[in-house]
């Protein structure tokens, strides 16, 4: 019989091999020893503090999943407490990526905005210690009812993805911020609340979505489900209690649906447990709520930056809707009644399994020894206990596999033990001080500075198919490694995409090596067939309220993985300990310094129009189209560019030759000559670049702002042109004050208006009187603080005969900046049904009759919404020109207000014209043409 130590080492090798292939299995990502996506982790996750939190996780198998609708919906304080405070494995399933929201940081909208908010939430998750999942449904804009949301998404489509995420992650407890009732407000919120309760019942049923079982997933039955107790939405006392629906601004008798038990509740749900999110954690140096809010503040596109709370008590109440274990009426935690110690894993076995309890008892003893022996200044003291616990866990994996337990029991137990193996690996790496930096490197020499030590070199930002580059793995440890000692560097390697066969060649020997440092070089070739780094999901248009899944391997994941990872494996007394990192590029930003970013693969050439849609006035005989070509390669590129046009259309030039240096970009202008334009007809134009033997017709659009990981938005180089009967006053000079970003200035150019973007100094000190109209972009009062100072100048401009057009603004605008009083109101009224009827209240008003006669037809074909931030009340000197409302909503007349002030005109427009113009909706252009032409009308009259 083999000695026990040799047998444990053999088992360790087998388990390691299994773990290396786990990416192909449907395991939660927390069960894997994963490559870090960033060069740096949060300070709280480094050194002694990080190791202590890992030890917290080793002593429990508690797990929880929260289900919400959008990025920033999460109860981050609760997630942080459970993950960082209690050591639970915490996950969050977010239904949408927030595509339909507003963007307070940049001009991206829809799917490009969804990528920004995806990466923002991943940043926030780092603070709460949360593993992130998504479904395929898209945020199609503000939804007032759950019925509308299900109509758009399909009930089973949502439930399918929710159940799948639960079966992958296998949490003991489900929670939600939402209950599935009108107290949640947003219809998407209500869906998230209902899904948490429905999935609690459905995920464990093998007859629900059996294709998932055939795929390799197994049913999983959570033991409890909770939702946050609605508080601010409940008003009144006793039998007069009512629930407020902020989505509709209406109140209803208190009547809440319990989906688990299939019954109605006519009172506020009891608080089954209160979560002390304001509790101070000495390891973090913050309360759990403060830690979470630091992350939440990074979701800047939604909130523009947060306001972390001051320290102090803060409790959040949750109601338990279902439990499969005995539970008291009032609990101390979500896990009351569940044995979440390591011994509790034995409950996954049906029948008596003494070997399982003995094995778990031995693992728990090793973890307890590590906890009691831990000294922050000398983490090496706990290495023997971690080493022993790691090997005992592997032994138990082997014993479970060899046992007579049924297949489901084996799989459930193995799932939890694999998580413990990953956590032991992390603890050992932290206690040994193992670090590995995977860096693109332009030189074959290590950059050693006598004053600053080893440094990363500046590199290119992305790779392209067909190129070669070098990767440097810089490996260090706090403990010295020697050939015959306890610790040695066993091997290093790169991981590249499955099935693409990237040639990777290790250069001869490490560049430098010591008892605790080594640099290893690899030469990498990106094959011609390499996939580019792009989302695994897409949709043909924003009208489809869910994504198509282009690569089913990554369904429920945040994004497809970055292409190259660097790995190092150490051997610590027979235990393999691995550390990995996504390969990073390095570039310099003034004021920030060196910036690390994951390496991405881009196509050799990016081709794209300035905008994806627009209009052609019927009388136009020709119009310009601008196509931007970018050579993403590190070498020069030659080729030809042409337009694929509708029949009988022509373009000058017919073909445009190009020569682009590395990373160079050029914008080519084609003068397009249309034929046989028909009012409201749509025409499609495609740009195609030929370089070598390859054609390119896709645009790569960087999205976001500094501080986010790179993940580009891809879209076809296609332009949708709409022929429209639109007229605009001749000779207009328009000034535009850009807010958070929109496409209106570019859209105005399509109808012959060349707006000038006003700078801060021009707003405050320039000659405003030279402009026929001054247009304020969306959310300008939030993005342009000089506007509050310039209020009197702008009103004086109107008084002297100018036209001022203010597009929708938030509460920052609710300070009577107009010529007469108004109230925007805290409800910020919105009309979300883009097909809601629009009544023209004054058909003969000049704004609606010249130069274009506005009719009901101008409100056909709109996308996402009618508008939001409608005025709530206003001085009678404002004329309300339109009215619209959603079903059941009070009439909304505050969407287009017109006031004569002195010799000029002041207009507030909350209708989402900016969204419509970006999609080529004819009526939006006609309405905007009338608004900017108003100055000519008033002077004529």
733-779 pLDDT tens trace:
999 999 988 899 999 999 999 999 999 999 999 999 999 999 999 99
Q: How far apart are CA 539 and CA 507, in angstroms?
A: 43
pLDDT at 590: 87
Q: Which of helix, strand or coil describes residue 159?
A: helix
pLDDT at 29: 55
- Comparing C-alpha atoms, which of 803, 776, 799 is closest to residue 905? 803
Note if the bond before 851 is cis, omega within 30 degrees. yes
pLDDT at 19: 35
Residue with token string 């390799």: 216
Task: Write out the H or E segment, with its range, that includes residue 605.
Answer: strand 605-609
pLDDT at 445: 59
- DSSP per-residue codes, 770-803: G-SEEEE-TTHHHH-THHHHTHHHHHHHHHTT-E
Q: How far apart are CA 38 and CA 42, in angstroms?
A: 10
- DSSP per-residue codes, 48-89: HHHHHHHHHHHTB--EEEEEESSTT-S-HHHHHIIIIIT--E
pLDDT at 7: 34
Phi, psi for 528 (deg, rounded to 5): -60, -30
Rounded to the nearest 10°, the torsion over CA 39, 42, 47, 48 is -170
Q: Which of helix, strand or coil describes residue 295?
A: helix
What is residue 345's DSSP assignment?
G
Q: How far apart are CA 904 and CA 767, in angstroms?
A: 16
Phi, psi for 185 (deg, rounded to 5): 80, -105
What distance, in Å, lies between the first and last C-alpha atoms of the chain? 105
Q: How far apart are CA 886 and CA 146, in angstroms?
A: 14
pLDDT at 302: 87
The CA–CA distances, whole Å, from 626 to 54, 68, 925 equal: 54, 41, 20
Residue with token string 């597009």: 807
What lies within 8 Å, CB to CB, of 646 at 6+ separation is: 674, 675, 683, 684, 685
What lies within 8 Å, CB to CB, of 430 at 6+ separation is: 47, 50, 51, 54, 379
Cα–Cα–Cα angle for 492, 498, 503, rounded to 5 degrees:
60
Task: Write out the H or E segment, with its range, that includes residue 905.
Answer: strand 904-909
Positive or negative, the Cα torsion across 3, 4, 5, 8? Answer: positive
What is residue 184's DSSP assignment?
G
Task: Write out the H or E segment, with its range, that includes residue 880.
Answer: strand 879-880
pLDDT at 484: 80
Residue with token string 């704004």: 847
Count Cα atoms within 13 angstroms, Cβ side, for 627: 34
| CB neighbours of residue 935 within 10 Å | 25
Q: Which residues of the chain have pLDDT under 50?
A: 1-25, 27, 511-512, 939-941
| CB neighbours of residue 187 within 10 Å | 24
């Amino acid at each position: 019989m083999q000695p026990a130590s040799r047998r444990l080492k053999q088992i360790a090798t087998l388990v390691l091999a299994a773990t290396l292939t786990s990416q192909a299995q449907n395991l939660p990502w927390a069960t894997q020893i994963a490559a870090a996506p960033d060069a740096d982790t949060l300070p709280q996750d480094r050194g002694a503090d990080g190791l202590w939190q890992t030890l917290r996780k080793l002593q429990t198998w508690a797990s929880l999943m929260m289900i919400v609708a959008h990025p920033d919906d999460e109860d981050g304080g609760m997630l942080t407490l459970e993950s960082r405070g209690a050591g639970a494995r915490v996950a969050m399933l977010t239904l949408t990526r927030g595509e339909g929201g507003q963007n307070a940081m940049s001009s991206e909208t829809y799917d490009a905005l969804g990528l920004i908010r995806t990466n923002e939430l991943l940043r926030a998750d780092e603070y709460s210690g949360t593993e992130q999942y998504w479904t395929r449904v898209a945020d199609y804009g503000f939804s007032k009812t759950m019925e509308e949301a299900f109509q758009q998404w399909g009930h089973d489509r949502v439930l399918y993805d929710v159940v799948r995420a639960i079966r992958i992650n296998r949490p003991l407890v489900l929670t939600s911020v939402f209950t599935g009732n009108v107290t949640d407000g947003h219809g998407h919120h209500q869906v998230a609340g209902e899904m948490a309760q429905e999935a609690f019942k459905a995920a464990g049923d093998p007859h629900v979505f059996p294709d998932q079982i055939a795929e390799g997933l197994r049913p999983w039955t959570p033991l409890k489900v909770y939702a946050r107790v609605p508080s601010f939405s409940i008003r009144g006392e006793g039998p007069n209690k009512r629930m407020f629906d902020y989505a509709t601004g209406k109140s209803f008798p208190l009547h809440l649906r319990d989906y688990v038990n299939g019954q109605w509740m006519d009172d506020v749900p009891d608080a089954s447990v209160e979560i002390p999110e304001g509790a101070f954690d000495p390891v973090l140096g913050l309360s759990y709520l403060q830690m979470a809010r630091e992350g939440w503040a990074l979701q800047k596109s939604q909130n523009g930056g947060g306001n972390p709370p001051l320290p102090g008590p803060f409790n959040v109440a949750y109601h338990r809707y279902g439990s499969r274990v005995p539970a008291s009426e009032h609990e101390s935690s979500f896990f009351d009644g569940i044995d979440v110690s390591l011994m509790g894993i034995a409950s996954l076995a049906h029948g008596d399994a003494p070997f399982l309890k003995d094995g778990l008892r031995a693992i728990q003893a090793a973890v307890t020894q590590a906890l009691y022996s831990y000294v922050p200044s000398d983490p090496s003291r706990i290495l023997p206990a971690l080493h022993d616990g790691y090997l005992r866990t592997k032994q138990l994996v082997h014993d479970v596999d060899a046992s007579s337990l049924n297949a489901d029991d084996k799989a459930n137990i193995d799932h939890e033990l694999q998580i413990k193996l990953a956590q032991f690996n992390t603890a050992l790496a932290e206690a040994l001080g193992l670090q590995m930096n995977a860096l693109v490197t332009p030189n074959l020499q290590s950059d050693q500075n006598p004053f600053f030590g080893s440094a990363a070199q500046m590199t290119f930002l992305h790779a392209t198919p067909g190129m070669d580059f070098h990767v440097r793995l810089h490996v260090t440890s706090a403990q010295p490694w020697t050939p015959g000692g306890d610790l040695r560097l066993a091997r290093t390697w790169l991981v590249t995409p499955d099935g693409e066969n990237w040639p990777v060649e290790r250069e001869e020997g490490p560049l430098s090596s010591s008892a605790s440092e080594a640099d290893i070089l690899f030469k990498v070739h990106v094959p011609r067939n390499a996939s580019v780094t792009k989302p695994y999901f897409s949709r043909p248009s924003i009208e489809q309220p869910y994504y198509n899944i282009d690569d089913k391997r990554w369904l429920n994941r945040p994004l497809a993985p970055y292409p190259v990872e660097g790995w190092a494996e150490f051997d610590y007394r027979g235990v393999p300990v691995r550390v990995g990192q996504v390969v990073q590029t390095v570039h310099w930003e003034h004021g920030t310094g060196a910036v690390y970013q994951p390496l991405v693969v881009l196509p050799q050439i990016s081709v794209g129009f300035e905008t994806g849609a627009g209009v052609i006035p019927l009388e136009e005989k020709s119009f310009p189209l601008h196509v931007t070509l970018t050579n993403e390669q590190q070498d020069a590129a030659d080729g030809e560019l042409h337009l694929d046009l509708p029949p009988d259309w022509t373009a000058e030039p017919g073909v445009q030759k190009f020569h682009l240096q590395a990373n160079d970009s050029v914008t080519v202008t084609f003068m397009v000559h249309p034929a046989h334009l028909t009012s409201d007809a749509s025409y499609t134009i495609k740009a195609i670049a030929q370089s070598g033997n390859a054609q390119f017709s896709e645009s790569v659009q960087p999205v976001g702002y500094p501080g986010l990981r790179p993940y580009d938005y891809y879209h076809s180089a296609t332009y949708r042109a709409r022929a429209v009967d639109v007229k605009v006053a001749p000779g207009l000079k328009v000034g535009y004050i850009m807010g958070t970003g929109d496409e209106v200035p570019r859209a105005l150019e399509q109808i012959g208006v060349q707006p000038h973007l006003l700078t801060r100094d021009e707003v405050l000190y320039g000659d405003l009187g030279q402009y026929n109209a001054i247009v304020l972009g969306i959310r300008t009062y939030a993005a342009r603080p000089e506007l509050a100072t310039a209020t009197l100048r702008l009103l004086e401009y109107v008084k002297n005969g100018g036209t001022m057009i203010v597009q929708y603004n938030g509460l920052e605008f609710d300070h009577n900046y107009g010529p007469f009083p108004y109230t925007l109101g805290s409800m910020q009224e919105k009309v979300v049904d883009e097909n809601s009827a629009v009544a023209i209240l004054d058909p003969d008003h000049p704004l609606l009759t010249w130069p274009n006669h506005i009719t009901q037809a101008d409100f056909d074909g709109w996308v996402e919404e009618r508008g939001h931030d409608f005025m709530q009340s206003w001085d009678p000197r404002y004329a309300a020109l339109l009215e619209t409302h959603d079903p059941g909503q009070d009439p909304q007349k505050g969407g287009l207000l017109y006031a004569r002030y002195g010799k000029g005109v002041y207009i507030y427009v909350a209708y989402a014209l900016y969204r419509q113009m970006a999609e080529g909706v004819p009526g939006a252009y006609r309405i905007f043409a009338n608004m900017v032409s108003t100055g000519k009308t008033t002077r004529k009259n």
